């Protein structure tokens, strides 16, 4: 496998551990399933941006940025949907992995912590999407999929950046970094374990290389 797989956290520095080769193999083996899930992810990301706009309705800067974000996520949804239609793959509901709900459970209830945590969780999900799309863009055997993921992955990095900036402006760098590091560990925890069945592979299904192992691997190089 390429250097990208050996050390994808070099590209996505806030993730506490890289995705595992097992996840990539599972995802490449079920491309249509991952594509359907990806369509759902884009739509959910738009929903999260809208929810946050409604939760903090008088914050104009937030409203402007999240409105643009929601539109972009929906455009991506349409792009993925168009590819599904060209491939004659019907969009169908899929059981979501525990990832989203276990991350949401980390969000503290009282403000302003709730805002900080919600932004950081949304940002970490974007960062993981970016990392995994980069793997798919590099390793998918299908050129259409390489092209789609290659095109979309840069946006995911920008989306992480947007949530990061929102946090830094409101909470300062120190508070933001400290909480991000805690939540990044929870994010890896949410991706730990082994896939119970091949058809449960998703954009955010389990599959990470524990940080200690990846440090050993990079030490060996
Ligand atoms: Fe996104």
pTM above the 0.95 mark?
Answer: no
What is the 165 CA–ligand 1 centroid distance (Å)?
15
Quickly state the pLDDT bin for 212 (edges 50, 70, 90). Answer: low
CA of 216 to the centre of ligand 1 (A): 31
Q: What is the mean pLDDT of residues 136-148?
A: 95
How many Å lie between the centroid of ligand 1 and the Cα of residue 202?
Answer: 16
pLDDT single digits (tens) 14-47: 899 999 999 999 999 999 999 999 999 999 999 9
Residue 27: both structure tokens together:
């995802």
Predicted confidence band of residue 218 (pLDDT cuts 50, 70, 90):
low
Model confidence at 217, in pLDDT bands (50, 70, 90)?
A: low
80 CA to centre of ligand 1 in angstroms: 13
Q: How far is the CA of 221 from the centre of ligand 1 (A)?
A: 33
Range with lowest mean pLDDT among 16-20, 108-112, 208-212, 213-217: 213-217
Residue of higher predicted confidence among 71 and 7: 71
pLDDT digits (tens, 9 = 90+) for 146-186: 999 999 988 888 999 999 999 999 999 999 999 999 999 99
Centre of ligand 1 from the C-alpha of residue 112, in Å = 24
12: pLDDT strictly greater than 80: no
pLDDT tens column, 113-130 = 999 999 999 999 999 999
**Where exactly are the structural domains of the chain?**
19-192
Distance 25 CA to ligand 1 centre (A): 23
What's the CA-to-centroid distance between 61 and ligand 1, angstroms?
Answer: 19
CA atoms in the 13 A half-sphere facing the CB of 24: 23
CATH of domain 19-192: 1.20.1260.10
Distance of CA 81 from the midpoint of ligand 1 (Å): 15
The CA 126 to ligand 1 mean position distance, Å, reads 5
Q: Output the CA 156–ligand 1 centroid distance in Å.
A: 4
Question: How far away, in angstroms, is 220 Cα from ligand 1 center?
Answer: 34
Q: What is the CA radius of gyration of the chain?
A: 17
| pLDDT for the residue 1 | 40
What tens digit of pLDDT does each residue of 179-211 get?
A: 999 999 999 999 999 999 999 999 999 999 986
How remote is the CA of residue 219 from the centroid of ligand 1, in Å? 32
Q: Given this model, what pLDDT does residue 154 score?
A: 85
């Amino acid at each position: 496998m390429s250097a990208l797989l050996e050390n994808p956290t070099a590209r996505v520095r806030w993730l506490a551990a890289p995705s595992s080769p097992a996840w990539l193999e599972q995802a490449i083996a079920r491309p249509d399933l991952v594509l359907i899930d990806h369509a759902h992810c884009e739509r959910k990301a738009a929903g999260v941006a809208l929810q946050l706009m409604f939760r903090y309705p008088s914050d104009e800067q937030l409203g402007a940025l999240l409105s643009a974000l929601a539109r972009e996520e929906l455009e991506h949804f349409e792009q993925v949907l168009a590819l599904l239609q060209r491939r004659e793959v019907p969009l169908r509901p899929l059981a979501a992995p525990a990832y989203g709900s276990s991350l949401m459970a980390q969000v503290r209830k009282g403000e302003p912590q709730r805002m900080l945590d919600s932004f950081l969780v949304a940002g970490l999900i974007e960062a993981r999407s970016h990392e995994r799309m980069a793997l798919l863009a590099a390793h998918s055997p299908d050129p259409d999929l390489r092209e789609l993921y290659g095109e979309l992955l840069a946006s995911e990095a920008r989306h992480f950046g947007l949530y990061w900036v929102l946090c830094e402006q409101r909470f300062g760098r120190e508070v933001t970094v400290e909480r991000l590091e805690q939540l990044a560990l929870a994010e890896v925890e949410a991706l730990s374990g082994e896939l119970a069945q091949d058809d449960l592979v998703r954009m955010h299904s389990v599959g990470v290389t524990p940080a200690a192992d990846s440090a050993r691997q990079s030490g060996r190089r």
